[in-house]
A and B are shown apart, each in its own frame.
Chain A
Amino acid sequence: DTEVTQTPKHLVMGMTNKKSLKCEQHMGHRAMYWYKQKAKKPPELMFVYSYEKLSINESVPSRFSPECPNSSLLNLHLHALQPEDSALYLCASRSPGQGEKLFFGSGTQLSVL
C-alpha cells in the first residue's frame, strides 16, 4: 500500500462549526505532515509529527489543532475558522527508508462560509 488517504475530499463549514480532517497511511512512515495550499500557490507547511510527537509547528493559529493518535493516523481539528482559511489541506508522510520521499494524499478542499 503506497497511498496516503485523506477524508473527506470536500468540506463546507460555517465559522462556528467544529470539524476534523483525517489522514491515514499504512507504509510504516513515522513522519507525517499537514500542508495548506491556496489556489495557484505552493504548499505551505503547517505541522510535522515525528514518531507521534509534534516536532514542528509553523506558528499556526490555535483554531487548527493537530493530533496523531497512532503511527498510521493524523487528524486536523478545526474550530472557529475564518473564510480566509478556505484552501486545499494536504497530508503527507515520509520515511528515510523511502529515500526521504514525501508522499501526498489527495487533499481535503475546505470552504469556510
Chain B
Amino acid sequence: GENVEQHPSTLSVQEGDSAVIKCTYSDSASNYFPWYKQELGKRPQLIIDIRSNVGEKKDQRIAVTLNKTAKHFSLHITETQPEDSAVYFCAASRGGSSASKIIFGSGTRLSIRP
C-alpha cells in the first residue's frame, strides 16, 4: 500500500539557522505533496504544497523540493524563528480526484533554540 516515510523524527536548530525535513513516498502515481504544520492542541495547517510537474517551490522562508525519480521531497525552512517550533507532517496523494487518499508521514518535531 501507499507509504510515506519522514525523517528526522525530532530536530533542534539554533534560531536563525536552517532546518531541513525529508520524506520519501512509495506510490509512483502520487503527484501532489503538501506539508502541514501542527502546533500543540491545534489543527494541522497547510504551509506549502508542490505538484509533480514542478521541481521546487518557494514561499518566503519556506521552500519545498521534489525529486520524482527518487521519490523524495524535502521541506527547507531558512532563518528559523521561535514560532517555527511545531510538528511538521509531509504527505502524498494521487491527484485528479478530490476524494483521493492523502497519506501522512510520521512527523518531525522541530524545536528552535533561542
Residues of A within 8 A of B (CB): 29-31, 33, 40-45, 48-50, 55-56, 90, 94-96, 99-107
Number of residues in B with C-beta < 8 Å to the partner? 22
Known: A41-B107, A42-B107. A102 touches B43 (CB 8 A): no
Instruction: Verify B43–A106 contact, CB threshold 8 A.
Output: yes
Measured in the bound complex, the distance between the Cα atoms of B46 and A41 in whole Å is: 17
Inter-chain contact count A-B, CB under 8 Å?
60
Interface hit among B14-22, B71-79, B89-97 = B89-97
Instruction: Verify B43–A107 contact, CB threshold 8 A.
Output: yes
Instruction: Verify A43–B44 contact, CB threshold 8 A.
Output: yes
Residues of B with C-beta under 8 A to A41 = 106-107
User: Nearest chain A CB to B4's CB is how many angstroms away?
Assistant: 9
Measured in the bound complex, the distance between the Cα atoms of B105 and A99 in whole Å is: 21
Residues of A with C-beta under 8 A to B103 = 45
Measured in the bound complex, the distance between the Cα atoms of B44 and A101 in whole Å is: 12
Residues of B within 8 A of A (CB): 32, 34, 42-46, 49, 87, 89, 93, 95, 97-99, 101-107
Residue in B42, B98, B102, B104 with the greatest tally of chain A CB atoms within 10 Å: B98
Contact pick for B89, options A43, A48, A94, CB 8 Å: A43
Instruction: Verify A48–B99 contact, CB threshold 8 A.
Output: yes
Instruction: Verify B49–A101 contact, CB threshold 8 A.
Output: yes
Measured in the bound complex, the distance between the Cα atoms of B42 and A90 in whole Å is: 10
Instruction: Verify A50–B106 contact, CB threshold 8 A.
Output: no
Residues of B with C-beta under 8 A to A43 = 44, 89, 104
Residues of A with C-beta under 8 A to B105 = 42
Contact pick for B99, options A40, A50, A99, A103, CB 8 Å: A50
Known: A41-B107, A106-B42. A49 touches B99 (CB 8 A): yes
Instruction: Verify A100–B32 contact, CB threshold 8 A.
Output: yes
Instruction: Verify A101–B99 contact, CB threshold 8 A.
Output: no
Interchain residue pairs with CB less than 8 A apart (9): A30-B98, A33-B102, A48-B101, A94-B102, A96-B97, A100-B32, A102-B34, A104-B43, A105-B43
